[in-house]
Amino acid sequence: MTLYTDFIFLTDEIEGFRMCRDTRFESSVTVLLCLNGHIDVWYRGEMIHIAKDDIFIRVPRATEKGPFNHSDDFEFKQITIPIQLFESLMFDLIRVEPLWWQKLEYLKENPIFHLQQKSIDVCHLYFSLLRLQLVDKQTDYRKQILKLLARVVTMELLDYMDKSLVLGDNEIRRMSSNASDYTFEAFTQLLREHPHEREVQWYAEVLKITPKYLSEICKERSGKSASQWIADITVSEIKHLLRNTTMPIHKVAEVMEFPNASFFCQYTKKHTGLTPNHFRKQKQQ
């Protein structure tokens, strides 16, 4: 069965697997669990072997275009989400995932993990829950539930990585081997420590580089400029406060350290398309 919306793709069919290998899914994260048999896929210039109870994680800019071969008894389950959703899950309430960039770099080089039965059972459960929500098109909160389930799957993967991997200083330095990598890492660290600073100039001054160079580094390393990073994390917290608190708008503006409520409203409308009040009214849609 292959099911999908504009932000999540679920399949356990070879045709669905083939679909996820075209250019439409280049900027996406794919998680494939091999349930039986095996499959050999072309990945970063070579064939890799995915066997029973292996989980294969493909991150953006590490596509496996090319041939693939599978055994007659090959069975699998696969979830694919766009990188934009994945990144939003990595910054839950402006909590920047520790060493997130290094983890993505590690996954590019080491995309296969062998799972224990407990982890396999958990994957089955999440796949079943996602499938039920994708089939039930009448669920009022379907979109939000799907995003929450995608968040849980992402957190499970990160938790599994944290328990399975030991990224020592040498490994981190090897994956961040030049000055721009260190600068990007330092920038994300500053975002974590100073989430209410909204000027690229401020971050650039702390890092002792020009705003233009900072944006170039961010664009090269992540596909987004420094200002986009700042705006995404700011908007993420704004949305959280509007959805999950009953604070008056002027109080939210104060918490977010905007100069006044009027400027806060303008900022929110610019980045979400809605005023804070309208966003709050539509929060359950």
What CATH number is given for 229-281 in this structure? 1.10.10.60
At residue 14 the predicted structure's pLDDT band, cuts being 50, 70 and 90, is very high
Identify the residue with better confidence: 47 or 61: 47
Encode pLDDT of 204-240 as tens digits.
888 888 899 899 888 887 888 999 999 988 888 888 8
Are 2-164 and 229-281 in the same CATH fold? Answer: no
Position 176 scores a pLDDT of 47
C-alpha distance from residue 74 to each of 50, 104, 118 (Å): 10, 27, 21
Quick one: which H or E segment has residue 145?
A: helix 142-164
List phi, psi (to 5°) of 56.
-110, 125
Position 58 scores a pLDDT of 86
CA distance 78 to 31: 6
Position 283 scores a pLDDT of 58
Q: Is residue 92's pLDDT more than 80?
A: no
Mean model confidence pLDDT for the chain: 82
Position 94 scores a pLDDT of 41
In the chain, where are the structural domains located? 2-164, 176-226, 229-281
Question: pTM to 2 decimals?
Answer: 0.61
Beta bridge partners of 68: 41
Q: Is residue 108's pLDDT more than 90?
A: no
State the fold for domain 2-164: Jelly Rolls (2.60.120)
Burial 209-221 (b: 16+ CB within 10 A, else e): bebeebbebbeeb
